Every structure is written in C-alpha cells, then in structure tokens.
Amino acid sequence: MAPPGTFDDGRTPLGPVRADGVAGARAARDVVLPLTRTRVADALTELGYPLFRDAAGDLGAMWAQAVFHLYLLGKDESVLQVRGSWHRRLAIERLPEVLTLLDSWNREFVGPKCYVRVLDDGLLSVVAESSVPLASGVSDNQLVRLIERGVGQGMRVMRDLEELYPDPAARAPGAS
C-alpha cells in the first residue's frame, strides 16, 4: 500500500523478498479472498476508523457528522455496501431543496448514491451509499481502498449538507 497522501498506481514492484518478509507481506495483501465481516472489521481497524457493532452484528463507524454502516448484502454476502446517514434531521418542508441538492450531486459525481428517507416522525434523513459486488473476492488492499472511498465520498456529501444547513447552536444567540 502506498504511504498516506500518495498515489499507488498498482505498478509498484514487489522486488525481492527481504529477510523481514516485507515484499512477501505486500504480496499477501494482494491475494483475493472472499469478503467477510472479519475482514471488513480488520480493514476498519487498519484505517483507524471508530468501529462499532450494532445489535444485529453489522459493522459501523461514527464521526461528528455521520454514522456509517458497512453491510454485506446478497444471498452469499458478497456485496459490500457503505451507507452513511447524516447526523441531523431536516423538516419535511425542506424536501424540495434537499432533493435539488442531491439530484445535482447524483448527476455530477459517480458516487455515492444519495437519497432522502422520510422517517416515521415526518423528518428527513439524508443517506449516501456505495455498493460494490465482490462475488469473485477482494484483496486486503482493495477492501481498505473500497471502504476508504465509500466513507470519504459519503463524508463529502455530509460536509456539503453542513455548509448548506449550519448548526444553529454553533452561532451566538441573536446572530443570523
């Protein structure tokens, strides 16, 4: 894997195996294996993401602006879905403007898919999700990058929402 902040185009030579096994370790991270919850948890830990398991055993990670769940979908649990929900709720009267924002986002960017859910209490929840079919398996390096991409793209949407709908408690009383 490339050092943080650099681009690894996948052509970095492994080179000879050193006595400490470094090249061999890199090669092992490129072996394609079936997708499992354990591997997803390991990838979240490697990324340093704040990992949790919910009551159903699904994995997730929390930030100040969003909660992300990582699901293994399909009959054989071979589809990785990274689904982020914005931490705040919006009034139903904001639906047209939120739909305009998300429609623009969905037209401009390849991912994540963004949508609004109307909750039982009539408030809106904004969701960003990325899904990748991995029936043929995935390497550790690929899995880390897919999770990093899913969360990173979702957080871009959450930041846009934070800018459009700033937290009123962050402003002084009486400030507009």
Which tens digit of pLDDT belongs to each residue from 49-68? 999 999 988 999 998 889 99
Give the phi and the psi of residue 87 in degrees, each rounded to 5: -75, -15
In a domain, 122, yes or no: no
Sheet of 59-62, strands arranged across: 51-53, 59-62, 66-73, 79-86, 124-133, 113-118
Residue 171 pLDDT grade (very low, low, confident, very high; cuts 50, 70, 90): confident
Count of the separate structural domains present in the chain: 1
Q: 61: exposed, middle or buried (C-beta count within 10 Å: 0-12, 13-18, 19+)?
A: buried
pLDDT at 4 over 50: no
> Which residues lie closer than 8 Å to 82 by C-beta, 6 or more apart?
68, 69, 70, 112, 129, 130, 131, 146, 147, 150, 151, 154
In a domain, 137, yes or no: yes
Residue position matching structure tokens 């043929």: 136
User: Per the structure block, which two tokens stand in for 156?
Assistant: 């871009």
pLDDT of residue 25: 57
* Distance (Å, whole) CA 125 – CA 46: 29
In a domain, 65, yes or no: yes
In a domain, 51, yes or no: yes
Mean pLDDT, rounded, of the chain: 86
Question: What sections of 3-110 are H helices per DSSP?
Answer: 22-29, 37-47, 95-108
In a domain, 115, yes or no: no
Residue 13 pLDDT grade (very low, low, confident, very high; cuts 50, 70, 90): very low
Domain containing 140: what range?
22-86+130-168
pLDDT of residue 28: 76
In a domain, 100, yes or no: no
Mean pLDDT of 140-162: 94
In a domain, 144, yes or no: yes
* Distance (Å, whole) CA 25 – CA 140: 11
pLDDT digits (tens, 9 = 90+) for 89-118: 999 999 999 999 999 999 999 889 999 999
* Distance (Å, whole) CA 12 – CA 164: 41
In a domain, 61, yes or no: yes
> Which residues lie closer than 8 Å to 6 by C-beta, 6 or more apart?
none
> Which residues lie closer than 8 Å to 135 by C-beta, 6 or more apart?
74, 76, 78
Residue 169 pLDDT grade (very low, low, confident, very high; cuts 50, 70, 90): confident
